Amino acid sequence: MRWIRKHVIGAIAILVLVYLFLPIAVVIAFSFNNPVGKYNLSWNEFSFDAWTQICGVPGVCSSFVTSLQIGLISTTFATILGTLIAFALVRYRFRGRSSTNLLIFMPMATPEIVMGSSLLALFLNLSFPLGSVTVMIAHIMFIISFVVVAVKARLQGMDPRLEEAARDLYASPAATFRYVTFPLVLPGIIGAALLGFSLSFDDFIISFFNAGTLVTFPIYIWGAAQRGIPPQVNALASLVFVSALLIVLGAQVVSWRKRRALSIR
Amino acid sequence: MAPVMPAIANTPTIAEVSQRKSRVAYWLLIPGLAWLAFFFVVPLVTLFMTSLQTESTTSPGKYVSGFQLSNYTDAISEYWPQFLRSFLYAGLATGFALLIAYPLAYFIAFKAGNWRSLMLVLVVAPSFASFLLRTYAWKTILADDGPVTSTLNSMHLLPDGRILNTGIAVVAGLTYNFLPFMVLPLYAALDKVDYRLIEAGNDLYGSPQQVFRKVTWPLSMPGVVAGTLLTFIPAAGDFINAELLGSTKDKMIGNVIQTNFIEFRDYPTASALSFALMAVILVMVVSYIRRSGTEDLV
């Protein structure tokens, strides 16, 4: 009885993780399915077809590339804009700090459907043509806040004495930034960019409102859901999942090794 | 906020030197804040103005600016069931998510040891697979002839004899999709809790229930507040789960806004519903923030 009590939280934790991964297992498994009819919902037989002909269905790969491009461009802009704000918030004193915080907090506290529909209302009123530009404008807007939060956390966690030491050793402000501050913040910026990219790549609601005839990967899936999602979509999504997992786990191993090397010394 | 060090010595610290140059701060802020102003604030104003537009008398189907407050009363009297259902489903999903996220976050914060960072990666990892595909996968898992439905049916637990295309599936999907948003803030809050306080509670002969109620839960409150907000807000505005997993009787306000905006092109009605959703959620968020402070959440 005592043993059960001791391990009950661990058991629940593992069950919750299983719950989180159950649909992923289905997504990956069904990339190896040879579906009967158009719906890839019940298991028929094992097949590598979706993987060997991953672009075999028209529209799948082009929508995938569109999402990659939009993700890259939006993330680049949002990372720059968000990092600048994070520096201002942590390193400077200025009037209007609380309204700045509010403006950054608001997009994260607003349902996507409100942001998507309000941007569409703006573009319609301006008669601005919908397409990749409007989608990127929207993505940059909602990613900025996440970048600010991530970079701000990294900046606040930095030891201020490291920069003071650089100053004491007669480094110019520019040199201090170039050789001390920036390398220390960089992991935070990279993390923020990766988060921003994954948000942009997977965004459906905001993109759907502002895409016009443009088809991103999630918009393709949405359309396909009505007439049957081909297993190629599962194969591509599995590929994204595995590569993202490898990147994150790789980063974990690197930081773990660094910490170990430091503690040995 | 950056800790402001008291000026003990005459030599100014870097923080003090840079804080004087507040003009630099504005140059750093302007590009990003301008973007947010143009593409977040201005659109909300446009949304509000669109929600008051009236149909043109000369060309039907076109809308001209006006002050048609009846758009709101009409929209809400027509769609109040979907409105209420959205808050009900989102509330249920938030409750379930809190219930199952808490043990997981607690375990990661206090019991996981060396496995801590790996477990955190595992919490985030599902988000790397497409949101839509994961939701679609629940169609397979909860299928009428699938193991989950038949097991629950053999125990006579399902009122309709099925899960898919019912409200249960929608709430299950919402709970699933926003669970990481509950786990992460809970973990962040529990991680800051000094475990010795919990041990002290145990040492002073508090029962596990008492220690949880009087020590752990109150200390984890910032995480509970942030987690419930981050789960409830996207869940209330979601239309993907209701569309893929529910029937026409389970539609949420998001579905109504989406179809009115994109299919029927009834912009004033859709804008009124969207703005009303925003207003209701804003009131809830502000009352939460009053208690916890924005700095903690940003």
Give dist(CA B167, CA B246) in Å, integer.
Answer: 6
For residue range B183-220, list pLDDT tens digits in order: 999 999 999 898 899 889 888 988 888 899 988 998 89
Comparing CB atoms, the residue among A26, A118, A248 nearest residue B121 is A248
User: All domains of chain B, ordered by start, with CATH?
Assistant: 74-297 (1.10.3720.10)
Q: Is the pLDDT of residue A51 over 80?
A: yes
Domain boundary assignment for chain A: 1-57+231-265, 59-229
> What residues of chain B lie within 8 A of the CB of A81, using their CB?
31-32, 35
Residue A46 bridge partners (DSSP): A33
Question: Would the pLDDT of B18 be above 60?
Answer: no
Residue of A nearest to B140 (CA): A41
Dihedral of alpha carbons A251, A255, A261, A264, sign: negative
Q: Which of A127-131, B69-73, B156-160 has the highest mean pLDDT?
A: A127-131
pLDDT over threshold 90, residue A29 = yes
Q: Is B261 in contact with A117 (Cβ distance < 8 A)?
A: yes
A242 vs A193, B9, B130, CA distance in Å?
18, 54, 12
Cβ separation B132–A221 shorter than 8 A: yes
The pTM of this model reads 0.89
CA distance A124 to B262: 12
Instruction: Give the residue with greater pLDDT, B113 vs A107.
Output: A107
pLDDT score recorded for residue B295 = 46
Lowest mean pLDDT among A36-50, A57-71, B131-145: A36-50
Quick one: average pLDDT of B140-153? 86
CA-based nearest distance A196→chain B, Å: 12
Grouping H, G, I as helix, E, B as strand and the rest as coil, residue B298 is: coil
Q: Which of A4, A20, A246 to mutate to test the interface with B (most CBs of B within 10 A)?
A: A20
Q: Is the per-residue pLDDT at B35 higher than 50?
A: yes
Reported as a single tens digit per residue, the pLDDT across A217-243 is 999 999 999 888 999 999 999 999 999
Q: Which residue of B has its CA nearest to A115?
A: B40
CB contact under 8 A, A12 and B107: yes
Greatest alpha-carbon span in chain B: 79
Cβ of B125 and A208 within 8 Å? no
In percent, the amount of chain A with pLDDT more than 70 equals 98
Residue B291's pLDDT is: 66
Q: Which of A42, A91, A111 sits opposite B2 (nearest CB)?
A: A91
Reference B86, options B247, B228, B242; nearest CA is B242
Query: What pLDDT is attached to residue B294?
Result: 46
- Beta strands (DSSP E) in chain B are 54-55, 63-64
Please tell me which of A51-60, A208-217, B17-26, B58-67 the model is most confident about, judged by mean pLDDT: A208-217
pLDDT at B7 over 50: no
| Closest CA of chain A from B156, distance in Å | 23
* CA-based nearest residue in chain A for residue B128: A241
For an interface test with A, give the residue of B18, B89, B121, B128 to mutate (most A CBs within 10 A): B128
B274 Cβ contact list (under 8 Å, min separation 6) = A113, A114, A117, A118, B47, B51, B257, B261
Is B298's CB within 8 Å of A105's CB?
yes
Beta-carbon separation of B121 and A245 below 8 A: yes
H, E, C per residue of chain A: CHHHHHHHHHHHHHHHHHHHHHHHHHHHHHHHECCCCCCCCCCCCECCHHHHCCCCCCCHHHHHHHHHHHHHHHHHHHHHHHHHHHHHHHHCCCCCHHHHHHHHHHHHHCCHHHHHHHHHHHHHHCCCCCCHHHHHHHHHHHHHHHHHHHHHHHHHCCCHHHHHHHHHCCCCHHHHHHHHHHHHHHHHHHHHHHHHHHHHHHCCHHHHHHCCCCCCHHHHHHHHHHHCCCHHHHHHHHHHHHHHHHHHHHHHHHHHHHHHHHHHC
Q: Which of A84, A87, A92, A222 to mutate to test the interface with B (most CBs of B within 10 A)?
A: A92
Among the partner residues B100, B111, B124, nearest to A16 by beta-carbon distance = B100
Q: How far apart are CA B262 and CA A205, in angstroms?
A: 12
Give, as one character, the DSSP assignment of residue B128: G
Residues of A in contact with B227 (CB under 8 A): none
What letters, b where the CB count within 10 A reaches 16 and e where it falls short, cover B19-39? Answer: beeeebbeebbeebbebbeeb
The span from the CA of A9 to the CA of B135, in Å, is 27
Between β-strands B63-64 and B54-55, what pairing exists: parallel, antiparallel or unpaired?
A: antiparallel
State the pLDDT confidence band at A84, using cuts at 50, 70 and 90: very high
Residue B6 has pLDDT above 50, yes or no: no
Q: Closest CB to A82: pick one of B32, B234, B261.
A: B32
Whole-number mean pLDDT of chain A?
Answer: 91
Segment A51-60 shows an average pLDDT of 90
Task: Tell me the C-alpha distance between B173 and B178, whole Å.
Answer: 9
User: pLDDT-based confidence at B4, cuts 50/70/90?
Assistant: very low
- Lowest-confidence segment of A239-248, A250-259, B181-190 by average pLDDT: A250-259
- Judge contact between A67 and A132, C-beta under 8 A: no
Q: Where are the beta strands (DSSP E) in B155-278?
A: none
Q: What pLDDT sits at residue A264?
A: 61
> Do B11 and A164 touch, CB atoms closer than 8 A?
no
For residue B298, what pLDDT is reported? 43
Residues contacting residue B154 through CB under 8 Å, at least 6 positions apart:
none
The predicted pLDDT at position A139 comes to 98
pLDDT at A263 over 80: no
Q: Which of A114, A141, A244 sits opposite B128 (nearest CB)?
A: A244
CB spacing of B143 vs A10 below 8 angstroms = no
DSSP letters of B88-125? HHHHHHHHHHHHHHHHHHHIIIII-GGGHHHHHHHHHG
The alpha-carbon gap from A83 to the nearest alpha carbon of chain B, in Å, equals 9
Q: What is the pLDDT of residues B244-293, one digit of tens each?
A: 999 999 999 999 999 999 999 999 999 999 999 999 998 887 887 676 65
Tell which CATH architecture fits domain A59-229: Orthogonal Bundle (1.10)
Section A152-168 average pLDDT: 88
Going by pLDDT thresholds of 50, 70 and 90, the confidence category of residue B5 is very low
